[in-house]
Chains A and B, each alone.
Chain A
């Protein structure tokens, strides 16, 4: 019957192999996050982690719910396509709690961020040499920021 002598060491080795392999699978099952492989070779729950972050810019839709008068002024003017927070900054906190009012803007520094003259800008875009144009006066001395064109009745 005994074709091979001294087979004991083979069985011991086989047992060790089985235990090793099993422990790899067990450890892998413990260590791998539950949602890994849900959509692909990554943790599916990561999508929810990323999506759950709070926003800082509320979005113009939130502003327009309350500030309907500004919407009317703005849609008639040249700044119709400029969203509120592009100038006013991130205001999700204000949208959540209207008593948390934002600081007033200084048009002398704000407007030139877009409208300072430069040959690099598209030719049709309205640009000014601020010092020559206003002599250091704040832009909202003459222009209404929400409807800036003076010819269109925008002057104060």
Chain B
């Protein structure tokens, strides 16, 4: 076979490209889920929260959260002064079993569900010395359980207090935004079980997601915006006393 210099110059780059695609292999095993098409977050519609604790119980059941630790919890604020300086905040057992009845009183009451904010520029992933925690390509802050040393740097770094060290596994754990559910086309356990729709999983890369219209028409803010964490837990009508 006679290969001219001209054909050789065409064949070599073509073979290189082909070899490159062989090396790259199959990108993902779940064929219907493409990471690059998603950028997950959460909408928390605070006026809708009734403090029933269904989200906390659902999270615990879905993710085997150890007793006394929480990946999501609900706080009840009671603000009586005009300056909003000293709110009384309670969260008995993370609000898992609801809250004691409040009597008609001066001031205002409201519930604030808390969870990992799945920050785009998360402080917790920056401090991990071994690369065990990271922001996934679809915007979820996750922990590689087989790689975590349990040094708890990330637990200290999270400005929202969303991480804990599992007392049995001695590795850091946190909300995974139910990664095993959202990659299967389901919503998170907390969103699935919220009876009033106070929590909604949002996909910021999906142009059809109602979050885009919601953000444009409502008073939405994130927690601790001054920390520039790129938090993606959006709180609707959040009171100024919430820290």
Interface residues of A (CB under 8 A from B): 36, 39-43, 46-57, 59-61, 81-83, 85-86, 89-90, 113-114, 116-122, 125
- Given B54, B102, B134, B179, which contacts A42 in the complex, CB threshold below 8 Å? B134
A39 proximity list for chain B (CB < 8 A): 134, 136-137
Q: 29 A-B contacts, Cβ less than 8 Å apart?
A: A42-B134, A43-B146, A46-B145, A46-B147, A47-B142, A49-B146, A55-B184, A55-B186, A57-B61, A57-B62, A57-B186, A57-B192, A59-B187, A60-B192, A82-B195, A83-B193, A85-B192, A86-B54, A86-B192, A90-B61, A90-B62, A114-B195, A117-B101, A118-B101, A118-B102, A119-B105, A120-B51, A121-B51, A125-B196
B133 proximity list for chain A (CB < 8 A): 42
Pair A120/B144 contact, Cβ less than 8 Å:
no
Given known contacts A53-B180, A56-B61, A120-B109, is B131 in contact with A36 (CB within 8 Å)? yes
CA distance A81 to B50 in the complex (A): 14
CA distance A61 to B134 in the complex (A): 31
Given known contacts A47-B136, A86-B193, A116-B98, is B142 in contact with A55 (CB within 8 Å)? no
Given known contacts A51-B180, A113-B52, is B144 in contact with A119 (CB within 8 Å)? no
> Whole-angstrom distance from the CB of B54 to the nearest CB of chain A?
6
Pair A114/B52 contact, Cβ less than 8 Å:
yes
CA distance A49 to B134 in the complex (A): 14
- Kindly name the residue among A47, A55, A114, A125 whose own CB sees the greatest number of chain B CB atoms within 10 A: A47
CA distance A53 to B133 in the complex (A): 18
Residue of A nearest to B52 (CB): A114
The list of the 9 closest CB pairs from A to B, nearest first, reads A120-B109, A46-B144, A53-B180, A42-B134, A120-B102, A51-B183, A119-B102, A118-B101, A86-B193
CA distance A71 to B14 in the complex (A): 57
Given known contacts A85-B193, A114-B50, A121-B51, is B179 in contact with A51 (CB within 8 Å)? yes
> Whole-angstrom distance from the CB of B147 to the nearest CB of chain A?
6
Interface status of B176 (Cβ within 8 A of chain A): yes
Residue of B nearest to A41 (CB): B131
B180 proximity list for chain A (CB < 8 A): 50-55
What 1/0 flags go to B175-192 for Cβ under 8 Å of A? 010011101101101001
B38 proximity list for chain A (CB < 8 A): none
Pair B58/A57 contact, Cβ less than 8 Å:
yes
> Whole-angstrom distance from the CB of B172 to the nearest CB of chain A?
13
B147 proximity list for chain A (CB < 8 A): 42-43, 46
Residue of A nearest to B62 (CB): A56
